[in-house]
Structure 1
Amino acid sequence: MTRLAVGRFSFMVMVLAASGAQAADWAPGKPPLSTPWTDKVPVDHPLPEYPRPQLTRPDWQNLNGLWDLAITPRSATEPAQWPMQIRVPFAVESALSGVQRPVGSDQAVWYRRKVDIPADWSGRHVKLNFGAVDQQTTVWVNGKQAGETHVGGYDSFGYDITDALKPGANTIVIRVYDPTDDGQGALGKQRLKPDGIWYTPTTGIWQTVWLEPVAPVHIERMDMTADLDHARLVVVPHLDGGADTKVRVTVTSKGTKVGEATGIANGSIDVPVPHAHPWTPDDPFLYDVKAEVLDGGKAVDTVGSYIGMRTMKLAKVGKFLRPVLNGKFVFQMGALDQGFWPDGIYTAPTDEALRSDIDKAKAMGLNLLRKHIKIEPQRWYYWADHLGILVWQDMPATRDHHVPDSAGKKQFEHELHTIIEQLRNTTSIVTWVPMNEGWGEYDPDRLADEVKKQDPTRLVSNNSGSNCCGFDGGNGDFKDDHIYVGPGETVPTATRAASLGEFGGLGLVVPGHLWPAKKKFDYEDQADAKAMTTRYEGLLAKVARRVPFGLSAAIYTQMTDVETELNGYLTYDRKVMKMPVDRVRKANQAAIDAAKEPDQ
């Protein structure tokens, strides 16, 4: 057992070896490209950080590491033989998993490992938690199925496995089926046949798995809303059991209590935050939050969290509607961020790697990242909150040019609304993007209205890029165009602000840092780094000139190359910045500073 410091909290981490063969029998694969972190991933305890920073408890058991693995026909029952091992939480297709092989839509993936439950967890319920598994997950503990099969590749889920546990070693078996683009569900940019803007699939467990003991009556979720106008934090604690139980919420700043209030579970608790320090990308100030379930005045369950006090609204600024952060218009200059890795695919190799793209975006003077058609592990949003970057969050799309059937629509909407609930406390997220460019598009106007009703504290782009290849219902908060190479002349309307959801796409080949495929893709080839830099500066100068005419956000394609798509600021292995950082920063800052110019 070791104590591990994670951000603002400390946790007790217990790491157990997997069943079956020893670690010496397992080896990672060789990725087509290695990142600076590829060789820094531990075998037995990869990604040891507590995975849910906004609902923390001190006792937990990390189940990342080596698991037994079998790949069978989809129709097969639990295998008798387990011929492989896999390093969780890396997808079967990834080099870091040690398996590095494709999985067909006619196959299922099975995981197995043994765990011991600490004796001091006695008397508490034990939860088995999954950050994310792609896509259909069934779990057994000691041969007993834990709840229903979970469907969805991007939302977190878990089971109370208390009744299935026994003294000594317990066996967990997991079956995963992932049809990728042979199915109806959300899959983002994964394709069984990757090409161009479509990338390698992720099958199976791709975020942290962990055990956690909880009290019989415990906090399952907290909804927190910063109310700067009334100097308060509104908290709704959702409890498992004990509907009339009292909950005490305390807000602190650097260890000093600034506000406290007690209320009833599942109701609103208003915690005063006098003279609140607003959160901004330039000053990402955060408050610590503690919630305690009370029984006779004694805390029987305690969780830790944090929050930034900020608001995001649409308001008239000068002649135009603009997005305003804490009542002030800040031009949002960002980059499209796909979140893929050449060694881990959907999963960054380490926590340091996970934060690295945000660090680089800040260094380039960007104040926004659009998380494109992917949901990240919650540690990524933790770093976005702490480092200070605005986030537009896309919902992963279903298949492009293919409207899902009724069951597919039901699943897509369930996962969309679940993800919003799970990420609603993320300070950095300022805009939801339910659909993109008509991919799997249906009812974008209805869905935008539903998202806005579910979370009125943020803005909504109903279908980013609907000018090029989708349906624009005329609602939502943005007239959100995609223009390559751009930037074009997007203007606001009487009801919506103007955003350039995608532009740019300048491509540059960097020998020695290329994905092994002959076919390459970008939106405009550049001869060399000098030409690319000059072209980029010209594009950003045009963006800056559009700001006084109503443009409020611009998102460049993209943060990094991804496989055969070569239009990143960085190469896919994160080893080469294609343009001088200082010149990129100056160009980006000029666009942000253009918000100070009078409207035309």
Structure 2
Amino acid sequence: MAAAFAVVAAGLSNAPAASAADPPQWQRLEPPLSTPWTDQVSPDNALPDYPRPQLTRDKWQNLNGTWEFSAANPGDAPPIGQGLDERILVPYPVESALSGIMRHETSMWYRRTFQVPPDWQVGAGERLVLHFQAVDYDTTVWVNGQEVTHHTGGYDSFSADVTDALTDAPDQEIVVGVNDPNDAGTQPLGKQRTAGDGIFYTPSSGIWQTVWLEPVKPAHIDKVDTTADVADGSVTVNAAVSDGDGTQTVEATAYDHGTAVGTVTGEANKPLQLKLDKPHLWTPDDPFLYDLQVNLSSGDSVRGYFGMRSISVGKTADGKQRMLLNGKFVMQLGPLDQGFWPDGIYTAPTDEALKFDLEQEKALGFNMVRKHIKVEPDRWYYYADKLGLLVWQDMPAMKDDTDAPPDAQVNYESEMHRMIDQHRSFPSIVTWVPFNEGWGDYEVGRIADQVKEWDPTRLVNAESGVNCCRSEPDSGKGDIYDDHTYTGPGTPAPDATRAAVDGEYGGLGLKVEGHEFDPAGSFAYEMEPDSATLTSRYAELQQQLLLAGQQCGVSAGVYTQTTDVEQEVNGFFTYDRQVKKMDFAKVREANLAVINGVDGAPQQGPVITPGTPGIDGIAAYPFDENTGTTAADSVGEHDATLAGGASWTEGHQGSALAVNGSGQYADTGASLVKTDGSYSVAAWVKFNEVGDGFQTVVSQDGSDHSGFFLQYSGADHKLAFSFVGTRALAPMTPEANHWYHLVGVRDAATGKLALYVDGQQAATRNACLLDEAAGGNTVIGRGQYDGNPVDFLNGAVDQVHVYDRALTPDEVTQLYTSGA
């Protein structure tokens, strides 16, 4: 069979797990950091809450608590009737301190016994169902020596009817075999890695969500899906039913604070439309939920809830495609939420802890949260529904450094389909995210279409961070174009059919002594010295996001992140949830300013002057002197001064400026362009060497950094025309000792940066926000950052032209041809 454990014939033995004189005991081990809830965890209260809020029954039995445990070898026979030597606290992952094991195991056994409560009528009109909310990864379950289920998938729930495996003995035995290859496999695993490092973390193997029992009637409700139709004022209720002896009739009733407001009756396993009079819509500001009672003609009855809301993409008054909630634009703002804990890793220590992060996010003024490549227990989504937080739900990624083989792709789609099916009724979830930054991605456009087919009621974000990392080229599919820029925020623009979002930005860090998971390895995208500076920088980023929403049409922003996670120290809270790292009142104020300040109304665009006509521009430097320390401006009145020992060399035509990458450049002595309007710069350049360092050909100084950079980007090994945090990158890597003609065009009317290489457009980048007015001198051969000269060119520059307007493609070609 497909399971990782072989079944052998074995009779059930009720041998004790250990000698009565000295039975093993569970012991809480010391985690790297303790949360406020660590010490509250014990075998008596290991996540005792009902695990399935949308389908509740009164009778159930929680099997969380102390189980027997041992490591295993693939192919071993299950230890039926055999005591195991260790004790583990379920449902905490084996690697966690709360489990009592705190080590990684690839293969493992769990064992315990249970008793069927005497008031349950199992075998006499009721069936007994054993539920596992989540086990990572490949699971086989035996009850009294009989295999009852085999499941693969680390993030979805599964169940088994174990009635026929029960015996007349008072104690019934469960044995669970789990195999988790972690990052040696090709299965979805999110950010788990055997050796957690950097942006990847400690794995969570084995049982990590609640295990429980439930008696049901032979004909019973397995699942209730609800789909709101706001325009029609109705909700579709589909009760999936195990029919038992025949077709069943369903009655579904909606309640508003105990008052029935709508009822529908019909055949089970078919969608039924329940009409509501004046439906009360669900929003982040008013997260109203209807209660739902579903009765089956067999006598089965379940309770749940639903919310009335719609999500779509459509044009706002400014003509831009934006994300619409209930037909209206709501700027979505939230944190990246990874759901890791220093004591329980994947599993929050208590239900209060699980709710805590969401409560804090809401208190910070957020109206959205991105659940980052992890799936949470159902109760997490229940709290998001109750609190009023829009949820972007990522699919846990496969490994980021390899291409997924065909069988892994089939499995990935199967697990993603199950994730969607099991979560389609939570009103808080508004967006599915199949891929992130190229991690294990494949056929992105097809997958986006497939997800939309599985759930047409929600938005699809085909690839979060499609501009980043190993992502496939933008497929143009889905409902959202998603930009990742650190520290950012980015300035993506919506297109004809998709909204634009900043799916990740920020990552501002602060180390808090005594609250670091790994002090030596702590890092962030930008480290701050203290809480006040961190708070101030956060407010600056939010102001930039506000402008991106108003001027660029950005519909949402996702800040990295809710809490520190292991080595990452870029959270609002430390990893242990003990320290607030910012002034939360100021954070809330900044967040609400973004949400309330972007309304989709038309914005006053920049006033674009026609500029100076002609191909020569407003300044030109042929560098034909070949002597002295002055380069003449052949068009204007701003001769350039050679600085730092810059000299002369053979040029593309005649002589050229020679600089050695160490403090040498030419200074025009003037601010030649207004960087809050349209402009262009052109130059022939030859690099003596190309490597990991940045080399700037032409720039203009600002108060802190250059207003633009025509450059070689050492981070990308590409030619670029850049603003700080935004680069239009040519696809090719330049060669040393080769002349290239570069033209950077800033078109303020369209909000674009364009880079031309040898007369051909090589890259464009949306940069709808005008950079600060850089009023310093235009310089040749270096840039500026943090108020300092940087990125000195090592090579030669010839025929520099500066324009106070955006050149057309034909003019760029003409300029290149004239110098070729």
What range is the shorter-chain TM-score in?
over 0.9
- Kindly provide the amino acid, as one letter, of the partner of residue 60 in structure 2: W
Structure number with higher relative contact order (C-alpha < 8 Å, ≥ 6 residues apart):
1
Q: Which residue of 2 aligns with 1:438?
A: 438
For the Cα contact (< 8 Å) 1:68–1:82, is it kept in 2? Answer: yes
Equivalent in 246, 250, 255 of residue 247 of structure 1:
250
Larger radius of gyration: 2
Partner of 2:565: 562
**Contact 1:70-1:81 within 8 A present in 2 as well:** no
Q: How far is the alpha carbon of 1:81 from its aligned partner?
A: 5.0
User: 1:388 matched to which residue of 2?
Assistant: 388
Establish whether residue 155 from structure 1 lines up as the match of residue 156 from structure 2.
Answer: yes
Q: How many residues align?
A: 575
Say if 2:24 and 2:86, in contact at 8 Å, map to a contact too: no
What's 1:13 paired with?
none
Residues 8-407 of structure 1 aligned to structure 2 (within 5 Å) = 25-79=25-79, 80-103=82-105, 105=106, 108-122=107-121, 123=124, 124-147=126-149, 149-167=150-168, 168-241=170-243, 244-295=247-298, 300-318=299-317, 319-407=319-407
Structure 1 distance, partners of 2:361, 2:301, is 35
- Deviations along 1:22-63, one digit per CA (max 9) or x if unpaired, are 998221111010000001113233111100001111111100
Pick aligned residue for 1:533 from 522, 532, 535 = 535
2:516, 2:522 within 8 Å by CA — same for their partners in 1?
A: no
Task: Pick which of 36-45 and 453-462 moved more.
Answer: 36-45
**Cα pair distance change 1:379/1:425, threshold 3 Å:** same
Tell me the C-alpha RMSD between the 2 structures: 1.4
Q: Given that residues 539 and 590 in structure 2 are in contact (C-alpha distance below 8 angstroms), is that contact kept between their aligned partners in structure 1? A: yes
Partner residue, 2:547? 545
Q: Distance in 1 between matches of 2:208 and 2:70?
A: 16
Q: Deviations over 1:543-590 (max 9, x none)?
A: 001112201000000000000111111100001111101100111111
SS at match of 1:466: coil
Partner SS for 1:58: coil
Shift of 1:74: 2.4
Give the Cα–Cα distance (whole angstroms) in 2 for the partners of residues 401 and 25 of structure 1.
41
Check conservation: 1:19, 1:67, Cα contact below 8 A: no
Percent of counterpart pairs with the same letter? 51
In structure 2, the partner of 1:454 is 454
Paired residue secondary structure (1:560):
coil
Q: Supply the distance in 1 between the matched residues of 2:403 and 2:23 (Cα, whole angstroms).
A: 45
Task: Tell me which amino acid in the other structure corresponds to 1:238.
Answer: A
Higher helix share goes to which structure? 1
The structural deviation recorded for 1:509 is 0.3
Aligned residue for 2:521, secondary structure, equals: coil
Q: Which amino acid aligns with 1:580?
A: D
C-alpha separation between the residues in 1 aligned to 2:454 and 2:78? 40
Aligned mates of 2:397, 2:179 — CA distance in 1: 19
| Contact 1:401–1:438, Cα closer than 8 Å, also in 2 | no
The answer as to whether partners of 2:182 and 2:194 remain within 8 angstroms in 1 is: yes
Alpha-carbon distance in 2 for matches of 1:304, 1:214: 14
TM-score, normalising length: structure 1: 0.94
Q: Deviations over 1:490-514 (max 9, x none)?
A: 1100010010000000011000100
How far residue 268 of structure 1 moved from its aligned partner, in angstroms, is: 1.4
Question: For 2:508 and 2:366, how far apart are their aligned partners in 1?
Answer: 17
Instruction: Tell me the residue number matched to 1:524.
Output: 526
Distance in 2, Cα, partners of 1:434 & 1:515: 30
Q: Distance in 1 between matches of 2:522 and 2:583?
A: 23
The answer to whether the 8 A contact 2:92-2:347 is kept is yes
Find the aligned partners of 2:251 and 2:600 in 1 and give their Cα distance: 47
Give me the whole-angstrom Cα distance separating, in 1, the residues matched to 2:134 and 2:394.
16
Q: Distance in 2 between matches of 1:542 and 1:304?
A: 45
Deviates more, 1:315-324 or 1:512-521: 512-521
CA deviation digits over 1:460-495, x for unaligned, max 9?
Answer: 100100111202211100110100110121110001
- Partners of 1:88 and 1:536 in 2: CA distance: 39
Q: Which runs of 5+ in 2 are unaligned?
A: 1-15, 604-820
Counterpart AA for 1:156: S
Distance 1:343 1:19 in 2: 27
Pairwise CA distance, 1:266 = 1.2
Q: Which amino acid aligns with 1:434?
A: P
Q: Equivalent residue for 2:409?
A: 409
The answer to whether the Cα contact below 8 Å between 1:404 and 1:440 also exists between their aligned partners in 2 is: yes
Q: Which runs of 5+ in 1 are unaligned?
A: 1-17
**Contact 1:506/1:525, CA 8 A, preserved across alignment:** yes
Shift in Å, 1:539: 0.6
Quick check: 253-262 or 118-127, which moved more?
118-127
